[in-house]
A and B are shown apart, each in its own frame.
Chain A
Amino acid sequence: MTYLPHTDADRQAMLETIGIERIADLFTDVPATKRFPVLDLPAPLSEPEILRELQALSESNADIDHYPCFLGAGAYDHFIPSVVRHIIGRSEFYTAYTPYQPEISQGTLQAIFEYQSMVCALTGMDVANASHYDGATATAEAVIMALSVARGRRRKVVLAPAVHPEYRAVVRTYTQGMGLSYAGDESLRVDLDDLRHLVDDETACVIVQNPDFFGRLLNLNKLQALADAAHAHQALFVVVADPISLGLFRPPGDYGADVVVGEGQCLGNPLSYGGPYLGLFACREQYVRRMAGRLVGQTEDRQGRRGFVLTLSTREQHIRREKATSNICSNEALNALAAAVYLAALGRTGLRQIAGLCYHRAHYAAARIAAIPGFALADESPFFKEFVIRCPRPPAEINDWLWDEYGIIGGYELGRDYPILDDSLLFCVTEMNSRSEIDYLVSALEEVLP
């Protein structure tokens, strides 16, 4: 039987030790009328059969090794160095669980400690946890932490409209039982100055995304002013950041962030149709006892040897139960390991080069597309690797055209989240999109208008 080592002799000997005759005798506590239901499942398959079937199924997707893709919007195609897959494929890592027993878990613990250190370096924060499920849930946990810092006395969240639409949705899902009010994201016309005026003494936190959902790099003076306004009202300033952008641009710690969250998928994790991804979460030291999630800390054993342990766990559900900072238990540890290996592989210069390539290629693409009659860049703001293009035909039609005629997977149709942008596509260009691929996209878009 698949994955079962028992022989008939084993089973017989074990039943005798237990003192019963048949395996079925172990299940007498299960109500007899409900016991041993017939499961109507497909017949079992051997390994070659299932792999052949899955190969065929996977090939009915248009994978982006075979088709140029200009989608981003929170999930990014960045190159994954071979060492990343090699390391996370070590089964000493991937077949372990949460390192509750530190003496035989120093590999996971030290790797997470190093990950925490690298996330702090990237974001300009003091502490980082061992991960959340994704950028959206990390953002929701930042809101819950802000409520806790305010000791439950504040019930308002100020939220920029250009925070990822799915993050804003998840934040609302998480907090639906908490009686919160949200201000700021009802209209795209709300800018950083408007957000500043929405902050008051009821506000627990202010959330912005930089670069924002449209790829724009926000004005640092305005961000600092917003942070100052938040702090003047004792509210936390939460920044959703793209970690690749932090290879080149100022960390949110430089402009007043108290909490930095983000999607860490781009750091060495495959797109994998939306998961598993990696929720980054870092904050200032003063909030460490109110943050959610696992934390690894350094300590020593009786002989004075350095070692690492899970620490400050009195915040967590397995100790504090209903008073815990969050219910999170399993997180995305293996994805965090991938991110650590990725950041260590690229290092101080490599990440900067990747971020630079994204920036320059995205600007090349934007300039060339904007030069096509009928197409235009939506605004003049500085941007990182994504930009919004206003289109002369409905974006869905353009995407169909790109696919049908050129085999190109086009941009993200912004109308699905923002009705007033129903003429706009969000294009993403990374180091994976070569100049010739960009030129191919441009030549295709040139054919959109007859």
Chain B
Amino acid sequence: MTELTPLIYEISVPGRTAATTPALDVPQATLPTEMLRADLPLPEVSEVDLVRHYVRLSQLNWGVDVGFYPLGSCTMKYNPKTNEVAASLPGFSRVHPYQPEHLAQGCLQLMFELQELLKTIGGFDAVSLQPAAGAHGELTGVLIMRAYHRARGDEKRTRMLIPDSAHGTNPASTTMSGLQMVEIKSDARGNVDLAELRAHCDDTVVGLMLTNPNTLGLFDEHLAEIADLVHGCGGLLYGDGANMNALLGIARPGELGFDVLHYNLHKTFSTPHGGGGPGSGPVGVVEKLAPFLPGPIVVREEVESECCCGEQDCTHEPGDEGYVPGEPAYFFHFDWPAQSVGRVKSFYGNFGVLVRAYTYIRMLGATGLRAVSEHAVLNANYLQARLKGTYRLPYDRTCMHEFVLEGRLPDAPDVHALDISKRLMDYSFHPPTNYFPLIVPEALMIEPTETESKETLDAFADALLQIAEEARTQPHLLHEAPHRTPVGRLDEVKAAREPVLRWK
């Protein structure tokens, strides 16, 4: 990796710019002088300096295209380049969201078909593509659950049950929706503790938010009983789709008892994570929840032989309006769904991300998607098998797409998961997720994904085994790691105590 590079402000020289602008070709209008700003302290750099600055910064980064990125719960699979080409087609990227529907039929058709594909894959009756990320889909789903109960006049339901292994977004989404969360413990096999769940299931329960497979990478062995308990008390079962990469063609959440689920297109369906977004978090629901989805949703209708321009003396030829009589056309219905929780975002969703996910699903088809999950689970179990003799595996079961080890070693008491993670960087691997889920001490959460080869998995396992050996014999190598990165361990306490959040 390259050296650190100065801030863009530090290479700024007054008078430089990296952009050209058209000349003023209209008469100058009067400017309201009292409204004009005195100064605009932005950097001033030439184009070549700008490019070098950001290229150097990019070289300080780790991405899936740089190397293995087994960050548990994040599904850092390879991001196909076809997707990028598709999303940047001018016919998609150069379309304004308020263009009349007849001038955006390609966008609408793609969205409609993606809704259908996601319904089929998840086993749901309706899908909204609007949420912009997983947590956004969660908020949407929780609002839908709340609205469903209230529409039935069941306003005493204010408690959301959430397992202790859940992502932090689950309780946070619950609070944002004005509901109270109740934590449910996990049992010794990593499942939801059925006795505790049973004790909490009553007529104040909105539902249960369940990640399945859960954040331990385990498929809950009592899923049917869980669904029955939750439904039995009048609650709804929410599915956190963060871990859908284990389930494509393996099982459909809608058939497993889930009433609502968010998909993470940036995990399961290969769209890039972008350094922290953009993502996309569509929500699928069973029929009784469909009226509560955020709108608008794309519908397909057959255009009648009459032109739909509405003009009395229409002289349009068939096809003038962009619609061909007798052919299907695609529309938004802005007054539908009828009991919608309302918009969760301006416009219709992260369309550019939808194009990428659509491309991926169409290239893989049903057999390809099932192979994705099969190999994601195969890769995880292979790594688990290679590592569990050295690192403690607290829940020793067949895992799904990820697994969680303890990052502490009996004969190296001063070594922590963080040290192991930092040392992995010296072996040119991105570390696993650390310290999550919270129920495993010193957690190392490893998700290899299906796109990694056996050679890569072996090299990673060899590195972790070597590190375990180093922990016993040369623990300072771990405590001082990483050694080969542009910066060493950074002082996070200082960053929080004396916040410097912008260049001055």
Contacts and interface: CB of A to CB of B under 8 A. Distances in A.
Nearest to A394: B310
Contacts of B256: 31, 34
Contacts of A273: 92, 95-97, 104, 107, 347-348, 351
B394 to A, nearest CB: 17
Contacts of A230: none
B274 A334 contact: yes
A153 B291 CA distance: 33
B43 to A, nearest CB: 5
Interface in B158-185: 167-169, 171-179, 181
A106 to B, nearest CB: 4
Point out which of A130, A309, A312 has the most chain B C-beta atoms below 10 A from its C-beta: A309
A101 B430 contact: yes
Given A103-B482, A173-B343, A93 B32 contact: no
Contact of B490 (A299, A335, A344): A299
A331 B35 contact: no
Given A59-B91, A249-B37, A327-B138, 10 more contacts: A36-B249, A45-B365, A95-B66, A97-B273, A113-B501, A121-B40, A133-B132, A271-B96, A345-B47, A357-B22
Interface string A1-12: 111111000110
Interface in A134-176: 134-137, 144, 164, 166-167, 169-170, 172-174, 176
Interface stretch (A47-55, A188-196, A370-378): A47-55
Contacts of B366: 38-41
Contact of B368 (A38, A44, A270, A404): A44
Nearest to A41: B366
Interface stretch (B228-236, B370-378, B404-412, B463-471): B370-378
B19 interface: yes
A19 B94 contact: no
Nearest to B422: A103
A333 B278 CA distance: 6
A44 B368 CA distance: 7
The B interface is mostly helix, strand or loop, or mixed, namely loop
Point out which of B92, B177, B425 has the most chain A C-beta atoms below 10 A from its C-beta: B92
B168 A321 contact: yes
A253 to B, nearest CB: 10
B42 to A, nearest CB: 5
Interface string A244-278: 00111111001000000001000000111111110
Interface in A50-109: 50-51, 53-55, 57-65, 69, 71, 73-75, 77, 81, 83, 85-87, 89-108
A106 B61 contact: yes
Contact of B132 (A134, A251, A357): A134
Given A47-B363, A331-B277, A17 B386 contact: yes
A352 interface: yes
A343 B452 contact: no
Contact of B95 (A61, A173, A217): A61
Nearest to B373: A27
A276 B143 contact: no
B69 A345 contact: no
B378 A351 contact: no
A64 B96 contact: yes
A291 B92 CA distance: 34
A298 B35 contact: no
A176 B37 CA distance: 38
A344 B8 contact: yes
A232 interface: no
Nearest to A127: B501
Contacts of B76: 95, 97
Contacts of A86: 51
Interface in A401-450: 403-404, 409, 412, 416, 431, 434-435, 438
Contacts of A110: 5, 7, 57, 60
B120 A409 contact: no
Contact of B54 (A111, A382, A434): A111
Interface string B267-290: 000101111111110000000000
A98 B398 contact: no
A329 B121 contact: no
B24 A4 contact: no
A246 to B, nearest CB: 7
CB-CB nearest 6 A-B residue pairs: A177-B178, A58-B91, A274-B347, A334-B274, A44-B365, A274-B97
B117 A41 contact: yes
A246 B71 contact: no
Point out which of A274, A297, A332, A333 has the most chain B C-beta atoms below 10 A from its C-beta: A274
B451 A329 contact: no
A18 B486 contact: no
B354 to A, nearest CB: 8
A344 B78 contact: no
A59 B63 CA distance: 33
A407 to B, nearest CB: 10
Point out which of B35, B98, B132 has the most chain A C-beta atoms below 10 A from its C-beta: B98
A233 interface: no
Contacts of A178: 178
Given A39-B249, A103-B488, A332-B277, A357 B348 contact: no
Interface in B1-15: 1, 4-5, 7-9, 12, 14
Contact of B488 (A128, A254, A301): A301
Contacts of B82: 47, 50-51
B18 A344 contact: yes
23 contacts: A23-B374, A37-B123, A51-B85, A92-B62, A101-B421, A102-B487, A103-B422, A111-B54, A133-B136, A133-B278, A174-B344, A271-B93, A274-B348, A275-B347, A297-B501, A311-B499, A331-B276, A333-B275, A343-B42, A348-B40, A351-B42, A400-B309, A400-B311
B346 A83 contact: no
B262 to A, nearest CB: 12
Point out which of A34, A116, A166, A308 has the most chain B C-beta atoms below 10 A from its C-beta: A34
A164 B345 CA distance: 12
Contact of B106 (A13, A60, A330): A60
Interface string B196-219: 000000000000000000000011
Interface in B93-141: 93-100, 103-107, 109-110, 117, 120-121, 123, 132-136, 138-139
Interface in A210-268: 217, 220, 246-251, 254, 263
B34 interface: yes
A170 B342 contact: yes
A17 B382 contact: yes
Point out which of B28, B76, B349, B378 has the most chain A C-beta atoms below 10 A from its C-beta: B378
Contacts of B139: 174, 327
Interface string B237-260: 000000000000111100110000
Nearest to A19: B385
Nearest to A164: B346
Nearest to A10: B454
Nearest to B367: A44
Given A39-B120, A45-B363, A344-B18, A55 B347 contact: no
A298 to B, nearest CB: 4
B172 A326 contact: yes
Nearest to B71: A97
Given A5-B453, A324-B168, A409-B99, A108 B275 contact: yes
A136 B346 contact: yes
Nearest to B173: A327
Contacts of B361: 41
Nearest to B97: A274
B152 interface: no
Contacts of A306: 4
A397 B385 CA distance: 68
Contact of A27 (B224, B250, B334): B250
Contacts of A75: 96-98, 347
B40 A352 contact: yes
B503 to A, nearest CB: 4
B85 A311 contact: no
